[in-house]
Chains A and B, each alone.
Chain A
Amino acid sequence: MTLFNINTIEKANYEWIEVDASRCNKCGICVEYCPMDVLAMDSKGYPFMKYRDDCWYCDVCTFFCPRVAISMNDLPYLIS
């Protein structure tokens, strides 16, 4: 655990990517294509921001999700 990066194995208290568990089928496309390797699957198989502070807010995860299960309603706190 460091000052900036959270680097956890589960969802942290603060993330700007929201995953709708009722829509997500745990296909992993978002994890596969995230350019900065931010996303990973949590213990239940849902994507979360494992390396949250490496996110370039590029929008790939929301754009690629075939089930519209991910939304980015805000940008990183320091940016927004």
Chain B
Amino acid sequence: MYHIIETDVVVVGAGAAGTMAAIKARQADANVKIVVLDKSHMDTSGGAGRGMDALNTMSVPPYSYPEDVVEHTTKVTEGVLDQNVSYEFGKRCPQLIEDLEKIMDREKGSLFPVDEDGNYQLFYLHPIQKPLLLPMDGEEMKRALAKAVRDSDATVYNRTAALQVITEDNVVKGVFAFNIRTGDYYYFKTKSVCLTTGCAARMGLASSGYLVGCYEFPGNAGDGYYMAYQAGAELVNMECFQANSLIKDHQGPGCGYVAAPRGAYGTDKSGNPTWSHGYSSGDSKMGSWKAFAEGRGPTHLKMSHLPEEESQVIEKILWGNERTSRKIFHQNRGQDYRDGKAVELAFAEEIGVCGGHSSSGVLADENGASSVKGLYVAGDVDGGLPHSYLGGALVMGGLIGEKAAEYSSEFNTSVDYKGLKKWIKNEIETFEEPLKRDNGLPTDLVEYKARTRIQHYMKPPKNPEFLEIAVWWMERIRKEDLPRIKAVDYHDLLKTYEIKCILAVGEMMARSSLYRTESRWGYQHWRVDIPESKSEWDGQWVVIKKQGDSMKLSKRKVPDLKWDFPAKMEYEYPELSFDVGIPFKKEANWINPKQDKWMAGTLEKQGMATPRKFMPGKEK
């Protein structure tokens, strides 16, 4: 069954950014029709479904100012950014604090810490001399946002996954979606879309082998990158990989942003720090990689030197927010944070891409507008605002809600929906092919194969030969395996779609890594064949755009940098040349292969067939 529904704004993905988009769209326009889609459930979906303990990057005077956000992002992106976007985000941070306190019905000093002078108190974490991290007592944030969305008279469709953003002449005209529990399909005629689908969580497979044992919310399969790409939007920085230090096996956050501002740090097996700071930028990732490469693993998050009061604070935060299962995980292993080796860290176990933790995603300006008219992006799918985390998702989510509402009320479309019913029927038929097959490949096996290949061939240090093989695998699985998948029900059918997204994002990662002929951002784009940054790539994006059936890549200069902050982290790419001594030498059996007469004779006698002499059932 399908439904055609007319609306003004469709929010795709009701995570932090999406819920805020809906709330702000309503505040901006009392009459705009708003639809919110979530493949999961709005109250619990996304990376902040169980809340969050901090807004990692924020500027709140007098502790820090918008210029400090620009300094930070300029440094960690090494100058490959639009500074205007970072500045505009920084400017809106204080308003976000006010909004969240209101939405969550919290007094000043309850949700965020306040100092003796009544100012919001930020913590040091980032690699600049200003504090940008605002702690938060935010377990219930997502449910409060969800309630505010319902109160704002938006129509919410839970368990409804968007599959396509439909455009005509580079203008948004619709969203096609389906409900993973009922199998109902929806075509939303809309003027604008707020794409807030999060990052690509299910890329490289971690060594636990558990498919959804991933750092980011596993519902985020890169759907937004794929939909935006298919709609004709531009994407950037897909070669700037996310590769984190995570709790080994658990794959939850390595707790660094909770524990590091409170005095914890990463150590190698001897207890020496793996790097000088705890911020997850390319240089510190390089420090973690180096510890393993030099045989100095395992690495740990050291908290044993902290006073008991601080250990209890850290436990309270880590066990009550975001990934609360950390408590069961550690307790069942008999681990205590007071032991310096309790939290074993894994590094770069799952290669992926994310706008909020790194800088990969759909290119958007300071209003969250993409290169497609009516398509706005925010949160981890947004590549225009790097390293902004949850604060960026909430601020920019709210902003794109306002902009989409404004655009929808002003823009008069004359979109032609002729033949829509036929189009929908065709789409459903094609989409449901995996359901109709009598047999075929299980979805989990295909995902397993794709993600093991991504992890093996794309994990830095990168080399072009590996990346070419990665491209080959993405294309091969897409062409040969996707048409053979057997989906058993609608839940499984969604996975078929998600695998398509994973393969597309994997291809973007590999192709953009090949295209950027230099190394940059420390570990995140380290090419062993060119282990240095090249001046011709300073301030240059790799832009990906769909052209016909192929992926077009190009180089584009970022907008002029208004602020002259250092655009470089302090690190060096190591020489990867190991002297392994003098290998044992032996005489060759023959110089001319024609001298291999014995086996050549056997080949001549037997051909390629294998003799069946002693076989079961042939004995007398």
Name A residues whose Cβ lies closer than 8 Å to a Cβ of B.
2-5, 7, 32-37, 51, 53-60, 63, 72-76, 78-80
Distance, CA A75 to CA B219, complexed state (A): 19
- Return chain A residues, CB-CB under 8 Å to B210: 53, 76, 78-79
Are B250 and A58 within 8 A (Cβ)? no
Tell me, yes or no, whether B448 is within 8 Å of chain A by CB.
yes
Most chain B beta-carbon contacts within 10 A, residue among A51, A58, A75, A79: A79
Are B445 and A2 within 8 A (Cβ)? yes
- Return chain A residues, CB-CB under 8 Å to B488: 7
Given A2-B442, A75-B325, A79-B208: A7 in contact with B489 (beta carbons within 8 A): yes
Given A73-B328, A74-B332: A37 in contact with B181 (beta carbons within 8 A): yes
- Return chain B residues, CB-CB under 8 Å to A2: 442-445
Q: Tell me the smallest distance from the CB of B246 to a CB of chain A, in Å.
A: 12
Distance, CA A56 to CA B44, complexed state (A): 12
- Return chain B residues, CB-CB under 8 Å to A35: 40-41, 44-46, 49, 217, 219
Say whether chain B's binding surface is mostly helix, strand, loop, or mixed. loop
Tell me, yes or no, whether B174 is within 8 Å of chain A by CB.
no
Are B489 and A58 within 8 A (Cβ)? no
Say whether chain A's binding surface is mostly helix, strand, loop, or mixed. loop
Are B332 and A80 within 8 A (Cβ)? yes
Distance, CA A57 to CA B442, complexed state (A): 23
Q: Please encode chain B, from 81 to 125, with 1 for each CB lying within 8 Å of some chain A CB and 0 for all others.
A: 000000000000000000000000000000000000000000000
- Return chain A residues, CB-CB under 8 Å to B2: none
- Return chain A residues, CB-CB under 8 Å to B209: 78
Tell me, yes or no, whether B211 is within 8 Å of chain A by CB.
yes
Given A51-B491, A80-B329: A75 in contact with B250 (beta carbons within 8 A): yes
Tell me, yes or no, whether B159 is within 8 Å of chain A by CB.
yes
Given A75-B332, A79-B213: A60 in contact with B218 (beta carbons within 8 A): no
- Of A3, A36, A80, which one neighbours B442 at CB under 8 angstroms? A3
For the complex, count residues of B whose C-beta is within 8 A of A.
39
- Return chain B residues, CB-CB under 8 Å to A3: 442, 444-445
Q: Tell me the smallest distance from the CB of A58 to a CB of chain B, in Å.
A: 6
- Of B41, B218, B489, which one neighbours A34 at CB under 8 angstroms? B41
- Return chain B residues, CB-CB under 8 Å to A57: 325, 328
Q: Which residues of chain B in 35-55 are interfacial with respect to chain A, using CB atoms and an 8 Å cutoff?
A: 40-41, 43-46, 49-50
Are B218 and A36 within 8 A (Cβ)? yes
Are B40 and A56 within 8 A (Cβ)? no
Tell me, yes or no, whether B420 is within 8 Å of chain A by CB.
no
Q: Tell me the smallest distance from the CB of A56 to a CB of chain B, in Å.
A: 5
- A-B contact list, 28 entries, CB within 8 Å: A3-B444, A4-B211, A4-B442, A7-B489, A7-B492, A34-B44, A35-B41, A35-B45, A35-B46, A36-B40, A37-B40, A51-B491, A53-B444, A54-B212, A56-B212, A56-B217, A56-B218, A58-B49, A58-B324, A59-B324, A59-B325, A60-B44, A60-B49, A60-B50, A72-B325, A73-B328, A79-B210, A79-B250
Given A33-B43, A33-B44: A75 in contact with B442 (beta carbons within 8 A): no
Distance, CA A51 to CA B325, complexed state (A): 19
Tell me, yes or no, whether B323 is within 8 Å of chain A by CB.
yes
Q: Tell me the smallest distance from the CB of B564 to a CB of chain A, in Å.
A: 44
- Return chain B residues, CB-CB under 8 Å to A4: 211, 442, 444-445, 448
Distance, CA A4 to CA B505, complexed state (A): 24
A-B pairs, top 10 by smallest CB distance, nearest first, are A2-B442, A78-B210, A4-B444, A35-B44, A57-B325, A35-B40, A59-B324, A78-B208, A60-B44, A33-B44
Q: Tell me the smallest distance from the CB of A5 to a CB of chain B, in Å.
A: 5
Q: Please encode chain B, from 138 to 152, with 1 for each CB lying within 8 Å of some chain A CB and 0 for all others.
A: 000000000000000
Tell me, yes or no, whether B192 is within 8 Å of chain A by CB.
no
Q: Please encode chain B, from 430 to 472, with 1 for each CB lying within 8 Å of some chain A CB and 0 for all others.
A: 0000000000001111001000000000000000000000000
Given A3-B444, A3-B445, A76-B210: A58 in contact with B43 (beta carbons within 8 A): no
Are A32 and B41 within 8 A (Cβ)? yes
Tell me, yes or no, whether B196 is within 8 Å of chain A by CB.
no
Distance, CA A74 to CA B325, complexed state (A): 9
Are B180 and A37 within 8 A (Cβ)? yes
Tell me, yes or no, whether B249 is within 8 Å of chain A by CB.
yes
